[in-house]
Amino acid sequence: MLANAQECLIWPDCPGHPFYVPDEETGVCFRKVIGPVELPEFFGTFFLPFIVAVITPAGLPSGPAIVAITVSLFGFPIKEALGISVFSLLCQTLIRFVFKIRLLHPKGRPPLINYKLAAACFPLMAIGCFIGVIIVAVVPSIVVIVLNLLIVLAISVYALVKAILLFKLEGAIKVA
């Protein structure tokens, strides 16, 4: 049930539609179960894994893309979409860790994962998560959306610059 339960007779009257629907007997809005699946949800069910599968192996963070897709296609509020994004990033990291734990570095004997660096970064990540939770709880949703957009733009520009430099470097190597 919604914290401020509202009575309504048809779906569009419920706040949070399409994820909140009226109960047929009482008319009070509640969060719907999995069905019925609407067209944007159906499209997002296939589009989201495809985007994550393309972005993640390229080394780019898929969190901002997950937030954008869950907000636009699934209709989640931005704060719920951020939670989904962070959880999916956690799952991606754990899966990548499990598959690469035994891989060795291409230039030598040490493992591919630098455990000393991971141990040094963990406290900073924990502090960043803590600060992020506080910011999302205090700041209005529009500010969170703008910050998310700026992060996506910064990552895109960084990736573009890196790709251009790599392209020039490969061209210089071929010429030499």
Does residue 1 contact residue 14 with C-beta atoms inside 8 Å? no
Is 16 within a domain?
no
Token readout for 144 is: 């969170």
Is 145 within a domain?
yes
Does residue 137 contact residue 78 with C-beta atoms inside 8 Å? no
Taking residue 98's Cβ as centre, other Cβ atoms within 10 Å add up to 9
List pLDDT tens digits, range 1-45.
444 456 666 656 676 666 676 677 777 777 666 667 778 888 888
Is 17 within a domain?
no
pTM over cut 0.85: no
Name the domain count of the chain: 1
Alpha helices in 56-140 (DSSP H): 63-72, 78-100, 115-138
Is 9 within a domain?
no
Is 133 within a domain?
no
List pLDDT tens digits, range 77-106.
777 888 888 888 888 877 877 777 777 777
Give the residue numbers spanning the domain of 89: 39-100+139-175
Taking residue 152's Cβ as centre, other Cβ atoms within 10 Å add up to 17
In this structure, what are the phi and psi dihedrals at residue 20, rounded to the nearest 5 degrees? Answer: -120, 130
Is 29 within a domain?
no
Is 23 within a domain?
no
Is 93 within a domain?
yes
